Structure 1
Amino acid sequence: MTISTPPPFEALLDEAAPLQSYKDHLAAVAADLIRGFDTGVPVADLLHAKAAVVDRLLIACWKHFLGDRADGLCLVAVGGYGRRELHPHSDVDLLLLTAQPLADNKSCADPVAALFRFLWDIGLKPGQSVRTVEECEQEAERDQTVITNLIECRHLCGDIALFQQLEARLAPERLWPAQAFFTAKLQEQEARYHKYHDTAYNLEPNVKDGPGGLRDIQIIGWVTRRLYGAADLIQLVSRGILSHNEYLELNRARDFLWTIRFALHSLAGRCEDRLLFEYQKQLADRFGYLATDGNQAVEEFMQQYFRTIKGVERLNEMLLQLFQEAMPSRQASTPPVRVDEYFHSVGGYLEAVNEELFRQRPLALLEIFLALQKNPSLLGIRASTIRLIRGSLDIIDDDFRRDPAACRLFMQILREPQGIVHQLRRMNRHGVLAAYLPEFAKVVGRMQFDLFHVYTVDEHSLFVVRNLRRFTLEKHREELPFAYDLSRQIAKPELLYIAGLLHDIAKGSGGDHSEMGERIAGEFCRRHGLGDDDTKLVTWLVRNHLLMSLTAQRKDIADPDVVHEFASAVGSEAYLNHIYLLTLADIRATNPNLWNSWKDALFKELYAVARRALRRGLHNPIAQGEICAARRHDAQRITERLGLPAATTEIVWANLGDEYFLRFAPEEIAWHTIALAGCRDADLPLVLLRPESRWGSAEAFVYMADRDYIFACSTAVLDQLNLTILDARLITTSHGYVLISYQVLEQNNAPIENPLRQTEIADRLRASLLHPTDQAMRVARRQPSQVKHFAVRTQVYFHDDAQARHTVMELLATDQPGLLSKVGQAFTRHGIRVLNAKVSTIGSRAEDVFHITDRDGKPLATEAARQALHASLLALIDEG
């Protein structure tokens, strides 16, 4: 591309034009480039055109400021500018090469300073360094990033002989030979991958530096230049290292990533390489992506992005391995070592015995992964064989998928004692898993545009299988001891792996993904020869993989009816074991920040009470009276052991009804009882903080005369203290007092261990309850900036409790500071009493459940009462 009106930099300099003139010309260039981008000019042309404009500017400035005084000086473009790749706000990296230190060249020092000052003044913001040839050599020898920057250097103006000296000093035979350079770049890439958690599937990926990004393509170019002296990847095709199709794929990927980066710079108005949420939707619209059934346009765009970088990662891995094999030190390689009839190893990598293997024996496309499992000392698959696999994926057709031998091989991979997850990931990386399971192909690179699911669906599913495997391994036993012990009781762990692999396979297909997944899982099980019982278990797990999570986190598991309903849905202890392990693996694979001690204790509790119900018999559910009596008995044994007389205990309990004993465990009841037994009127409101409860969280305990503002005020204070409220249980006594138990953690899910912090929480909470004010109910904590891109429409639903004891209110809203306090204020306006609150935050989405009554302890019977509360909630929540 050529700029329509080339800026007359020479004329401007000769006329000593004001600085604004240069800024205006550069702004006109930028606008011209943006117009070109919007009208479909290839992005490569735009990058080169921008570099050409900067070249003209620098050459004109060089002549103007240095003129005939440039002996022994040379201006050199390095880095991306050296490659002629300038995005709208890319750095312009320059090297001023000098024959002698600039300080010793008085006649040039001032003009050079004036040149760079001028470039800064007009807004070019060059990245500049001034070095002699010797200094360049010394710096490059010390730091591989310097040699990387310099091997792409390009002469702009000045002493050409000096530039040629630099090129000679940087030659591989003199500095950083190919093997050393290659090793350094591998280490650099490994460190860069670690920075991004070793996954390309981040919610806000970095287009330039993230795994599979532009840097992965640049590394291929740098190594090619160092190893072969080739400036263009096309020379890899002529050398037989890169196929023509792979070359085209790499170029398409580079152009796609360049296009995104160019658009990011223009949208942000600065150098921005992160694909932030605020830009993802804008780019999807700008590039013309459309919503499809069950998927937003932004999700379609991001799926193409993730699939593109996955391809770059794959090519990067293959080419770097080929480069390693081509190193002079590897030329005299050891002869192949036979592994089996179809494969041998070369340098520790598995290789097909001939190039026609997969055409002659299609089953070898699965056998190669089984061979890697059976030979764990092997490092992986040789690059030449990776290429053969990718070129043979068309062999995996419906006949292949229905072949009983292929199905047996796939099941054997899932049943091997080692390497299951490694090989599933390798199969996914090389396209075999998507070819073998066409439904899985649909979720490869599929993201969900929210703050909850931090991985693509395929990556998440493989993480679930990984977690299920970790539960079985002794070396990970201490991570989740209960899950480890339970996994030892699973007779066929491969059934769990199948359920984990398929549980989200229908995501993005429209409709209920659990129902659709159940059908896909059934077809998979029948095709792979699983018996009726095994098929029934797998399909039930896929259909109900959210059952335990929803029950534990959104229902009152202290309610015997809730427990009985869950146990009835599960049906047997064997199914309970499987759903427990799958649920834990699923949650821990959704978002690394989701799991905490509270969830660990919560799911263990639901498991325990459900197992008790199953063992007792679903036809014989435990009565509420039995539960109350048993808990009273167990709690009294604890209080007596701690020295509290039985008579005192009975006095404390006299005002607490059965509801209290249904909703608290014996050790909680005992702690509350001891606190209340020693409480005087002067101590009210009584506020205590227990740093670790049986739930693995801290318990904030409040006891005081009942007042309407208590819930709103106390939740506001806990929010102001940056605490996460996980659960709230409120009991109103028969003599007009309220007892509240909050389960809380620090916002980073850490326990509250510091005694000073514990005192601060209790003191602040008590002071606010003693003297409630409007200010006490305001939460000034800032909302995370990401949340604004995922606003959730506030919705309120009311349900009748099965036994007509209370009303269940569900609230869906954007998570925000002070949300619970606003709910509490609405309750206060309408005389609502809270019996129980389940608080759940999923990314930016708050999903809270409240069990409420009116002021007289009755359910909200009239539609008018519900609608009035609904209106107040919307007004309070949406005002901020």
Structure 2
Amino acid sequence: MRVLARTSEAGRQNRSRRVTGTDVRKEAEDSGPSGYAAARLRLLTEETRSGPPRRAALAELTDDWLTRLFASGAEGLRGASLVAVGGYGRGELSPRSDLDLLLLHDGSDPKAVAALADRLWYPVWDLGLALDHSVRTPAEARKTAGEDLKVQLGLLDARHIAGDLGLTAGLRTAVLADWRNQAPKRLPELQELCAERGERQGELQYLLEPDLKEARGGLRDATALRAVAASWLADAPREGLADARRRLLDVRDALHLATGRATDRLALQEQDQVAAELGLLDADTLLRQVYEAARVISYASDVTWREVGRVLRSRAVRPRLRAMLGGGKPTAERSPLAEGVVEQDGEVVLARAARPERDPVLPLRAAAAAAQAGLPLSLHAVRRLAATVRPVPTPWPAEAREQLVTLLGSGRPTVEVWEALEAEGLITRLLPDWERVRCRPQRNAVHLWTVDRHLIETAVRASEFTRRVSRPDLLLVAALLHDIGKGWPGDHCVAGEIIAKDVTARIGFDRQDVAVVATLVRHHLLLVDTATRRDLEDPATLRSVAEAVGSQSTLELLHALTEADALATGPAAWSAWRGSLVADLVQRVSAVLAGDAPDDPEEAAPTAEQERLALEAVATGSPVLALRAQTEQPAGQEPSGAPEPLGVELLIAVPDQPGVLPAVAGVLAMHRLTVRTAELRSLYLPDGVDGSVLLLDWRVAAEYGSLPQAARLRADLVRALDGSLDIAGRLAERDAAYPRRRGVIAPPPRVSVHPAASRLATVIEVRSQDAPGLLFRIGRALEDANVRVRSAHVSTLGANAVDAFYVTGPEGAPLPGDEAESVARKLEETLRG
């Protein structure tokens, strides 16, 4: 029998009547197990009760039912009790939670206990409830707990349900005593268990599809903090911890109700429904609340495990120190780091003479000192600062600005120090605009982090490039602010420029510096977008970038910011190839800024290999291919051994004819090759050679598996060009045989015209969800529109494709404005279909 199912709309409308706990328990008592099932379902579908009250009511209802089962099966049996452990022991039953039960007995009547177990477990299974059960004596339970840390953690929350109360109380007392006695040994084991789980599941506060229980900062970590507190060895910061844990439990309840399944993973396709179940505005609001809760738990875990380590170290060292000091109490050494800031016992604390209420720069000075020393900020120090420090004057004094730059330029330690300040609200007091990006999700598979963490990661990356620029302070501040506009509607670059001007003026930069940072924020995507989507041989491209940047020094800063931003985004956002494109663009724009105006491009002379392929294509009247492996070191990694092959350069020479672009793209899609870059141009042949040749210089990589042989590609390309190979049909058959599962509905494609991007061609940009055969469909649509593709610049970022096509009319001239817009609209309709 299925106890929990999706609630129909009619059922939802009937949930408004208030049902008391007494009504539910009476219904369960009247009808036995089936009554319990009905009462359980009624409780779960009641709109007026949710959160902790519903979890507690569900636990109480289950307790009553199990108590009756125990009483009916334990007649005449003494020395036995039924104990709830784990989440059920804490009285926190989510709609699809397991029932964690221990049947405890004194060992005097094993047969009767076995019969009682059957009377307990089978009704639970019959109702379709998940059950984690065990039958043990107190000695067996303690022995198992001593061997299995997870069992011991579950027993720490043991709660009596029915039977011999003294038996349960004795076990609980013994288990707690064992835990406290064994804490110096078991807590490091628990910490290692948490770290391994976090490494495996990721950080809850940054995942688009987080596991609410297993990910770092999830419910498992909250339970681990309870266990640390029960050891009496250390305790977690309590402010906000209970609310964070309650929020994650509420989300898990809504997830169970929305899906009808016992799941802890908040999948993308279920987030809107879960948000609606909780009465939230949208899925982003839901994720932000989940991230905020996870951040509280993660920070509490960091502080708690540091305290555990400090206590354990002091226990190991204290006897030797006391002996050396003649039995006196040792005092911790304090080493000065900055004015009002000292190091003590591996943490940064405030000096005894520090007066935060008189020193508004102290939080930034302490943070910068901690990051420079690679040490954590003491929880007590941060809380004292948050409670007593006065606001920094506006504009900031020079020392405050310098300390902020020092903090941002400290590299990886900046992250932990920044998180400590943020946990106590100091960041939003220093930078009020930070509130809009704090814990803000980024629904893009390319991004690894939330917006705020991405900004800090960018500053960390930028700190590696401070020797490349003449104004490292402006680079670091721009890195911190480059995506600050994502908290506002509209283009985040435009919004960010406005915010950056205000923030940099408030923190004390002069007008010229404010203008530079604003330019960096406004155009932080300019270089990578231009390098990967525009023709760098076109003078109009270079002039437009030069005009946007304005000066050599700003170009230098923008180059470093571009690389730092991409490296902080994720592995898919940067590579040695993309870096080389950006560097080439920077070099060309630098020449323009130096006064070396670019001339209209001349047709590039073919290389020896290109000329050989072209002559062979003319002689044979068919395509000729050449494959050459490309290698590069993954971006952001130190060279280690031989570079990995990341794809091949594909050179194709084809006698000039219609349909070349869709034919080549279609053949590559059939062979599961993804296109990274694509260039198509006519090639001038030596005097005395008749005919015209199209040269395609593409860079491709295998979607999976090995690369196909050039002979196979050539054979299929010949058939595609003569019409004997139905590429569209083959791709459709493959899609029908192996449909791609889509968890979310992708935004519709968008096609736009950029008339000022080139004087030699019309630039049509396509932004769409990446899919097999996408370039084939685009090429065929452009061929149908009777336009020629001069070159294509293909860029794939995660699941998103951003492709730019330089097209002309049949005579080689740019398209008139109306015709270009018409081609773009037809292409967009094709991709939407």
For the 8 Å contact 1:718–1:765, the answer to whether it is kept is: no
SS at match of 1:569: helix
**What one-letter code is carried by the residue in structure 2 that aligns with 1:742?**
W
1:361 corresponds to which residue?
359
2:830 corresponds to which residue?
876
2:761 corresponds to which residue?
806
> Does structure 1 residue 86 correspond to structure 2 residue 86?
no
2:23 corresponds to which residue?
4
Q: What's the C-alpha RMSD, in Å, of the aligned pairs?
A: 3.7
Q: Which one of the candidate residues 463, 466, 475 is aligned to 2:460?
A: 466
Share of identical aligned residues, percent? 27
Q: Which one of the candidate residues 621, 624, 631 is aligned to 2:598?
A: 621
Q: Which one of the candidate residues 65, 78, 84 is aligned to 1:57?
A: 65
1:717 corresponds to which residue?
667
**Offset at residue 489 of structure 1 (A):** 3.5
Farther-moved stretch of structure 1 (279-288 vs 409-418): 409-418
Q: Structure 2 CA distance, aligned partners of 1:858 and 1:344?
A: 70
The 1:454–1:34 alpha-carbon spacing in structure 2 relative to 1, beyond 3 Å, is: farther
**What one-letter code is carried by the residue in structure 2 that aligns with 1:347?**
D
**Offset at residue 846 of structure 1 (A):** 3.2
Q: Structure 2 CA distance, aligned partners of 1:828 and 1:757?
A: 28
**What one-letter code is carried by the residue in structure 2 that aligns with 1:566?**
V
For the 8 Å contact 2:67–2:162, the answer to whether it is kept is: yes
**What one-letter code is carried by the residue in structure 2 that aligns with 1:337?**
E
Q: Structure 2 CA distance, aligned partners of 1:367 and 1:184?
A: 36
> Does structure 1 residue 517 correspond to structure 2 residue 496?
yes
Q: Structure 1 CA distance, aligned partners of 2:817 and 2:436?
A: 47
Q: Structure 2 CA distance, aligned partners of 1:414 and 1:558?
A: 37
Count of aligned pairs between the two proteins: 779
2:102 corresponds to which residue?
95
Q: Which one of the candidate residues 778, 783, 787 is aligned to 1:832?
A: 787
2:584 corresponds to which residue?
605
2:516 corresponds to which residue?
537
The 1:4–1:594 alpha-carbon spacing in structure 2 relative to 1, beyond 3 Å, is: farther
**What one-letter code is carried by the residue in structure 2 that aligns with 1:88?**
P
Q: Structure 2 CA distance, aligned partners of 1:682 and 1:507?
A: 56
In the TM superposition, what are the counterparts of 1:584-733 in structure 2 within 5 Å?
A: 584-614=563-593, 617-618=595-596, 620-625=597-602, 628=603, 631-632=604-605, 669-678=607-616, 684-692=622-630, 697-732=647-682
Farther-moved stretch of structure 1 (581-590 vs 502-511): 502-511
Q: Which one of the candidate residues 458, 475, 484 is aligned to 1:496?
A: 475
2:83 corresponds to which residue?
76
Q: Structure 2 CA distance, aligned partners of 1:166 and 1:759?
A: 75
2:340 corresponds to which residue?
342
1:823 corresponds to which residue?
778
For the 8 Å contact 1:98–1:132, the answer to whether it is kept is: yes
**Offset at residue 307 of structure 1 (A):** 2.9
**What one-letter code is carried by the residue in structure 1 that aligns with 2:496?**
G
**Offset at residue 503 of structure 1 (A):** 1.3
The 1:526–1:863 alpha-carbon spacing in structure 2 relative to 1, beyond 3 Å, is: closer
For the 8 Å contact 1:726–1:839, the answer to whether it is kept is: yes
For the 8 Å contact 2:627–2:648, the answer to whether it is kept is: yes
**Offset at residue 747 of structure 1 (A):** 4.3
The 1:144–1:80 alpha-carbon spacing in structure 2 relative to 1, beyond 3 Å, is: same
For the 8 Å contact 1:30–1:88, the answer to whether it is kept is: no
The 1:366–1:853 alpha-carbon spacing in structure 2 relative to 1, beyond 3 Å, is: closer
1:476 corresponds to which residue?
none
2:17 corresponds to which residue?
none
SS at match of 1:809: strand
In the TM superposition, what are the counterparts of 1:262-273 in structure 2 within 5 Å?
A: 262-273=253-264
The 1:677–1:396 alpha-carbon spacing in structure 2 relative to 1, beyond 3 Å, is: farther
**What one-letter code is carried by the residue in structure 1 that aligns with 2:482?**
H
Farther-moved stretch of structure 1 (49-58 vs 165-174): 165-174
SS at match of 2:744: helix
Q: Structure 2 CA distance, aligned partners of 1:856 and 1:622?
A: 22
Q: 1:383-408, CA deviations, whole angstroms, 9 ceiling, x for partnerless residues?
A: 3223323323xx34253763444334
The 1:123–1:757 alpha-carbon spacing in structure 2 relative to 1, beyond 3 Å, is: farther
The 1:746–1:73 alpha-carbon spacing in structure 2 relative to 1, beyond 3 Å, is: farther
Q: 1:629-668, CA deviations, whole angstroms, 9 ceiling, x for partnerless residues?
A: xx53xx6xxxxxxxxxxxxxxxxxxxxxxxxxxxxxxxxx
1:743 corresponds to which residue?
699
The 1:347–1:123 alpha-carbon spacing in structure 2 relative to 1, beyond 3 Å, is: same
2:382 corresponds to which residue?
386
Q: 1:405-437, CA deviations, whole angstroms, 9 ceiling, x for partnerless residues?
A: 433433454566995555445434443232212
**Offset at residue 840 of structure 1 (A):** 2.9
2:725 corresponds to which residue?
772
The 1:144–1:284 alpha-carbon spacing in structure 2 relative to 1, beyond 3 Å, is: same
In the TM superposition, what are the counterparts of 1:420-499 in structure 2 within 5 Å?
A: 420=414, 423-471=417-465, 488-499=467-478
**Offset at residue 127 of structure 1 (A):** 1.7
> Does structure 1 residue 188 correspond to structure 2 residue 193?
yes
Q: Structure 1 CA distance, aligned partners of 2:532 and 2:733?
A: 25
**What one-letter code is carried by the residue in structure 1 that aligns with 2:356?**
F
1:580 corresponds to which residue?
559
Structure 1 portions without partners, runs of 5+: 14-20, 229-235, 291-296, 472-486, 636-668
For the 8 Å contact 2:410–2:460, the answer to whether it is kept is: no
> Does structure 1 residue 256 correspond to structure 2 residue 235?
no
Q: Which one of the candidate residues 44, 49, 53 is aligned to 1:45?
A: 53
Q: Structure 1 CA distance, aligned partners of 2:506 and 2:354?
A: 28
**What one-letter code is carried by the residue in structure 1 that aligns with 2:94?**
H
The 1:401–1:43 alpha-carbon spacing in structure 2 relative to 1, beyond 3 Å, is: farther
**Offset at residue 267 of structure 1 (A):** 0.7
**What one-letter code is carried by the residue in structure 1 that aligns with 2:187?**
F
Q: Structure 2 CA distance, aligned partners of 1:523 and 1:838?
A: 37
SS at match of 2:680: strand
> Does structure 1 residue 141 correspond to structure 2 residue 146?
yes
Q: 1:291-334, CA deviations, whole angstroms, 9 ceiling, x for partnerless residues?
A: xxxxxx44344334333332333344445555666679389584
In the TM superposition, what are the counterparts of 1:528-567 in structure 2 within 5 Å?
A: 528-530=507-509, 534-567=513-546
The 1:823–1:756 alpha-carbon spacing in structure 2 relative to 1, beyond 3 Å, is: closer
The 1:420–1:317 alpha-carbon spacing in structure 2 relative to 1, beyond 3 Å, is: closer
Q: Structure 2 CA distance, aligned partners of 1:779 and 1:565?
A: 45
**Offset at residue 146 of structure 1 (A):** 1.6
1:17 corresponds to which residue?
none
Q: Structure 2 CA distance, aligned partners of 1:537 and 1:755?
A: 47
**What one-letter code is carried by the residue in structure 2 that aligns with 1:698?**
V
Q: Which one of the candidate residues 22, 28, 41 is aligned to 1:30?
A: 41
The 1:165–1:287 alpha-carbon spacing in structure 2 relative to 1, beyond 3 Å, is: closer
